[in-house]
Chains A and B, each alone.
Chain A
Amino acid sequence: MKRVYLNIFVGLLLGFISLSLLYISSNFPGTSKNFPMTMLLLIFLLSLFQIIISIYRFKTIKQNNFEIKKISLIIFCLTFVSIYLMQFLNFFGSFLLFFLSGIYFYRIKNLKFYLFGTLILFLSIYLVFEFGLNVSLINREFLG
């Protein structure tokens, strides 16, 4: 999608969200609504300005196509799943699977370096966080 269309789309989305939240915040009691309402009104006005600028520059901005690579979304989803799995497998088990799945998704050929690097990284995390800072990464009770 071309960036100029996307700017208009994001402006419309932000405008819609800010108006909806403005409606919600109008029901807040006393002075608690004043600051958020002011900010939401500002977001709405700035989004409107963004849309106007994008339309005004419609002809001049035509390069820079917007593209999200599939691999980034896959890695994001894998991260999310790994975090969820932490409560069942603990941190190290879950993220070891994350690293191993990286071999397939990143199409890694130099396995020796990758696995050795992973081992060093996990060992460092264990020493710094679990051992040094008392962060509970193994006990699953805390990871739920």
Chain B
Amino acid sequence: MESFEVLSNLFTVGNSFSIIFGVVIGLIIGMLPGLTANLGVALLLPVTYGLEPTSALLLLVSVYTSAIYGGSFPAILINAPGTSASAATALDGYVLTKQGKFNTAIRVSTFASVFGGIVSGFALLFIAPPLSMISLKFGPAQYFMLAIFGLTIIGTLSSGNFIKGLIAGTVGLFLSTIGSDLDSGYPRFTFGFSALLSGINFVPAVIGLFSMSQALILSEDPLKTIQLNKYKTEMWKFLPKFIEVQKVFLNCCVSSIVGVLVGILPGAGGDIASWVSYNEAKRFSKNKVEFGQGSLKGIAASECANNAVTGSALIPLLTLGIPGSTTAAILLGALLIHGLLPGRELFTTYGDITYSVIWGFIFANLFMGMVGLLIARYFGKIAKIPNYFLAPAIIVLSVVGSYAIGNNIQDVYTMVFFGLIGYLMRKLNYPPAPLILGLILGPIAETGFRQSQILAKDSLMVYILNNNISLVLFVLTIVSILSAIYLEVTKKTNYEKDIS
């Protein structure tokens, strides 16, 4: 694909507006403690129905990356990470704020986030196309194993609770079977409800699980207000200083590599990357004592890594259909809505869309830094929005968003139902991400399963595992399950040790 063609396709009015709107909305969502990138992407998913695929995907990836960056503001200024990925940032950032050096902390976190985001964008640009060649070798057996592997690994890593993650994922796979069977037309688990014949639409389910349930959580503490440190906005100096950049540059290079590698692993999101990167920066630092005492390198390591995840999490998504993070799982839904199937075709037939989105993602990261520094001084006002307004506002947007999918009230009821399920799941420590992934991957897994059944002459298991790719995926699935069991057992042993 010609670079000029991609750039001319990218900078249309619609696409540019998508990036600007996505960055601003993402930053505001990230700045509000309690609101996550998942919520932002889920809420905006229905808005993208009326857009061109390029504009739609640009909007969503811009929200994703800038929400992760926006999370660093409350982490630094009020010690309340806006997203879980910014938890490590608070360790040093808040210390600097208490010392009156919030300017420096924000400038370094902005530079690191933009650096990490751009590196991950280029990683996506260079790694994804050759990796997508593997998808050409995929048949029914491989797709079936891939769906199972993707589900196991995201179920394992997303919550740290292996069994609950697996249960949620399997329930999602089961829910995907509700509706008319595609082969025989037989209504499965509809119990006489004609609305269920077409199956469960995953977009209202996503909105319910991530947005509506979050609004119910926020409702629990409606009068919660944020205690802001007194800092004068007129003192705001937002231009990064050369000496600060020089101090953390090497650190950013290493952390962005860590972030890219962690992001490629399915299920391992920004929070894991930021902690791994923070620990590595501390381990290799000559001055370990400064970490936790307001270290600029600590802030850079955490922020660079969590933004480096955003692009690389899209690599397994675009090439094989395995989301690298929870938000990427929702983005998988967005791809399918616009008729784009992950795999080689995304880089050939739909190359104009895919490359425009990747380049747009890189520009969004650059733009995010500029907008972030400009609106940082208004953080106080944004963070002060109380839960008693946020919660009903999210509910209203969830209702209108799910209704907008097809002007259909059934979708709104589906959203509300999944909102309650999501709320109970959060309360019971069941991760909602595997459920939604199961719902999305279900049809792919079932089609692969049934085609394999037809093609298998002898045993189904022998047919599925009778090729190298399936065998590798099978081994990886077993390894992921065993490692999760090991983690569960060691967690229990450690807990018993703590008690004793």
Q: Tell me the smallest distance from the CB of A47 to a CB of chain B, in Å.
A: 7
Please determine whether B167 and A66 come into contact, CB atoms closer than 8 angstroms: no
Chain B's interface size range is 35 or more
Instruction: List the A side residues contacting B388 at CB < 8 Å.
Output: 102, 106, 108, 114
Residue numbers of A with Cβ under 8 A of B are: 3, 6-7, 10, 14, 21, 24-25, 28-32, 34-36, 38-40, 42-43, 46-47, 49-50, 53, 57, 60, 66-69, 71-72, 75-76, 79-80, 82-83, 86-87, 91, 95, 98-99, 102, 106-108, 110, 113-114, 117-118, 121, 125, 128-129, 132-137, 142-144
Please determine whether A32 and B188 come into contact, CB atoms closer than 8 angstroms: yes
Please determine whether B173 and A125 come into contact, CB atoms closer than 8 angstroms: no
B181, B404, B412: which contacts A133 (Cβ < 8 A)?
B404
Instruction: List the A side residues contacting B189 at CB < 8 Å.
Output: 21, 24-25, 36
Q: Which 3 A-B pairs have the closest CB atoms?
A: A106-B388, A32-B181, A106-B222
A125 and B400 in contact, given A34-B449, A60-B496, A72-B219 (Cβ under 8 angstroms): yes
Q: B389 within 8 Å of A by Cβ?
A: yes
Contact with A along B378-412 (1 / 0, CB 8 A): 00000001101101110111011001100101001
Q: Tell me the smallest distance from the CB of B154 to a CB of chain A, in Å.
A: 15
Instruction: List the B side residues contacting A60 at CB < 8 Å.
Output: 492, 495-496, 499
**Stretch binding the partner chain, chosen from B275-283, B308-316, B369-377, B420-428:** B420-428
Please determine whether B219 and A129 come into contact, CB atoms closer than 8 angstroms: no
Instruction: List the A side residues contacting B450 at CB < 8 Å.
Output: 31, 34-35
Looking across the interface, which residue of chain A has its beta carbon closest to that of B413?
A: A83
Q: B55 within 8 Å of A by Cβ?
A: no
Please determine whether A75 and B453 come into contact, CB atoms closer than 8 angstroms: no
B166, B391, B495: which contacts A46 (Cβ < 8 A)?
B166
A-B contact pairs, 26 of them (CB 8 A): A14-B171, A24-B189, A28-B181, A29-B184, A30-B183, A32-B181, A32-B183, A36-B177, A39-B173, A43-B167, A53-B163, A53-B488, A69-B219, A71-B220, A75-B391, A75-B395, A76-B416, A76-B419, A82-B399, A83-B416, A86-B412, A106-B388, A106-B391, A114-B388, A135-B400, A135-B404
Please determine whether A137 and B400 come into contact, CB atoms closer than 8 angstroms: yes
Please determine whether A46 and B170 come into contact, CB atoms closer than 8 angstroms: yes
Q: Tell me the smallest distance from the CB of B148 to a CB of chain A, in Å.
A: 10
Counting chain B CB atoms within 10 Å of each CB, which of A69, A114, A118 scores highest? A69
Query: Measured between alpha carbons, how far is A104 from B445 in the docked complex, in Å?
Result: 48
Query: Measured between alpha carbons, how far is A106 from B453 in the docked complex, in Å?
Result: 56
Secondary structure of the A contact surface, majority rule: helix
A25, A95, A136: which contacts B396 (Cβ < 8 A)?
A95
Q: B133 within 8 Å of A by Cβ?
A: no
Instruction: List the A side residues contacting B396 at CB < 8 Å.
Output: 95, 98-99, 121, 125
Please determine whether B219 and A39 come into contact, CB atoms closer than 8 angstroms: no
Q: B47 within 8 Å of A by Cβ?
A: yes
Residue numbers of B with Cβ under 8 A of A are: 47, 49-50, 163-164, 166-167, 170-171, 173-174, 177, 181, 183-184, 186, 188-189, 212, 215-217, 219-220, 222-223, 385-386, 388-389, 391-393, 395-397, 399-400, 403-404, 407, 409, 412-413, 416, 419-420, 423-424, 427-429, 445-446, 449-450, 453, 488, 492, 495-496, 499
Looking across the interface, which residue of chain A has its beta carbon closest to that of B402?
A: A83
Please determine whether B219 and A143 come into contact, CB atoms closer than 8 angstroms: no
Looking across the interface, which residue of chain B has its beta carbon closest to that of A14?
A: B167
A39, A46, A136: which contacts B407 (Cβ < 8 A)?
A136
Instruction: List the B side residues contacting A3 at CB < 8 Å.
Output: 428-429
Q: Tell me the smallest distance from the CB of B155 to a CB of chain A, in Å.
A: 10
Looking across the interface, which residue of chain A has its beta carbon closest to that of B396?
A: A95
Please determine whether B186 and A32 come into contact, CB atoms closer than 8 angstroms: yes
Query: Measured between alpha carbons, how far is A128 from B25 in the docked complex, in Å?
Result: 14
Instruction: List the A side residues contacting B420 at CB < 8 Å.
Output: 76
